[in-house]
Amino acid sequence: MLQRPRRNRKSEVIRQMVQETHVSAANLIFPLFIVDGENQKTAVSSMPGIFRYSVDNLLREVESCMNLGLKAFDLFPNIDDALKDQYATESHREGSLYLRAISQVKKEFPEACVVTDVAMDPYSSDGHDGVVQNGEILNDETLEILGKMALAHARAGADIIAPSDMMDGRVGYIRKVLDENGYTGVSIMSYSAKYASAFYGPFRDALNSAPKFGDKKSYQMNPANQREALIEARLDEIEGADFLMVKPALPYLDVIKLLKDSTELPIAAYNVSGEYAMIKAAVQNGWLNEQRATTEVLTSIRRAGATSILTYHAKEVLLNKWL
Ligand code: PBG
């Protein structure tokens, strides 16, 4: 035998020498849930270890992450039902919880990178990512609202705008609104290939944002499709996206790889709430080793081609020095 691949696995030093993929704090984006009020920190029951923070506590949480070298955050608001309406007006109202959170974080931590979520669902009385009329999701009417939301986020200090709605043409529309208002430096991380997935369940618990009727299949992608992701990715790139995202991550590693090979833009992957919940549930039952399972998942997502990973594991892997 001339070739004995095991030689390159014979010691820890050699294994590390030939290791092809690494995960570091710089690759991670930590999603954080926000709730109104003061001194609030409420547990999300389907996501052990994850909380909804009022803005004062959010600042403390951001600070403790910054101290660990975790400097990128994606914010999501839990909105009181009374503030929701058909047109998600709360999403761009001056002085809203979300806009206050963005500007406070940027004020206290100018060097933090704040990613903001552009989509109607947390603010929509229908729980959908678009305007609903007679049970239909209207595309072009939704763009106008997304544009207002993105502009409000930019004004509040967002570094990266992340449209997660899957309406057609929204990246180009948002890019135009931002540019026309002088925000040429604000980036867009587009949820390019976002699938109609069962794995968003715990997130919808966290935000109380589940659709009030039907499902999201007329805008989010069919999990069976890969080639369609190329269409979405190409359009987002042409429309001016700075990052392309695949979501969820683990069941779609092939899509991450496909996009990686077909664009020069950095690829982000969203390791979603249900993926997090599965690991936590198994760990709580004593069925998986938490450190090994978590680092294996993150490494796999990087190996598939993701530059950045949005993950609820971001803080714990640094706190526990698992990377
Ligand atoms: C909605 C949105 C969702 C997530 C991020 N933005 C859920 C959905 O589309 O219903 C899911 C994130 C997760 O599950 O962690 N705009």
Exactly one of 247, 260, 280, 315 is catalytic; name it.
247
* Ligand 1 centre distance from Cα of residue 239 (Å): 22
Distance, C-alpha 18 to centroid of its chain: 31
* Ligand 1 centre distance from Cα of residue 226 (Å): 20
Q: d(Cα 242, Cα 16) in Å, to the nearest integer?
A: 32
Q: d(Cα 274, Cα 278) in Å, to the nearest integer?
A: 6
Identify the CA nearest to 253 among candidates 241, 270, 237: 270
Radius of gyration of the chain (CA): 20
* Ligand 1 centre distance from Cα of residue 110 (Å): 26
Exactly one of 84, 194, 216, 315 is catalytic; name it.
194
How, if at all, do strands 113-118 and 160-163 pair?
parallel
Residue 116 is encoded by which pair of tokens?
A: 């903001």
Residue 303 is encoded by which pair of tokens?
A: 């190996």
**pLDDT of amino acid 114:** 98
Residue 314 is encoded by which pair of tokens?
A: 């971001």
Residue nearest to atom 7 of ligand 1 (CA): 200
From 164, 204, 207, 216, the mutation candidate for ligand 1 (largest count of ligand atoms within 8 A of CB) is: 164
**pLDDT of amino acid 209:** 94
Residue nearest to atom 2 of ligand 1 (CA): 164
**pLDDT of amino acid 303:** 98
Residue nearest to atom 9 of ligand 1 (CA): 200
How, if at all, do strands 51-53 and 72-78 pair?
unpaired
From 75, 121, 126, 191, the mutation candidate for ligand 1 (largest count of ligand atoms within 8 A of CB) is: 121
Pocket of ligand 1, beta carbon within 6 A = 117, 119, 121, 129, 164-165, 200, 203-204, 216, 272-273
Residue 264 is encoded by which pair of tokens?
A: 């020069």
* Ligand 1 centre distance from Cα of residue 283 (Å): 24
**Which region holds residue 214: left if phi is over 0, alpha if psi is between -120 and 50, else beta?**
left
Buried b (16+ CB within 10 A) or exposed e, 120-151: bbbbbebbbbbbbeeeebebeebbebbbbbbb
Q: d(Cα 163, Cα 146) in Å, to the nearest integer?
A: 8
Q: Coil, helix or strand for 294?
A: helix
Is position 247 annotated as part of the catalytic site? Answer: yes
Q: What is the pLDDT along the chain (323 residues), one digit of tens a residue?
A: 999 999 999 999 999 999 999 999 999 999 999 999 999 999 999 999 999 999 999 999 999 999 999 999 999 999 999 999 999 999 999 999 999 999 999 999 999 999 999 999 999 999 999 999 999 999 999 999 999 999 999 999 999 999 999 999 999 999 999 999 999 999 999 999 999 999 999 999 999 999 999 999 999 999 999 999 999 999 999 999 999 999 999 999 999 999 999 999 999 999 999 999 999 999 999 999 999 999 999 999 999 999 999 999 999 999 999 99
Is position 148 annotated as part of the catalytic site? Answer: no
Question: Widest CA span of the chain, in angstroms?
Answer: 72
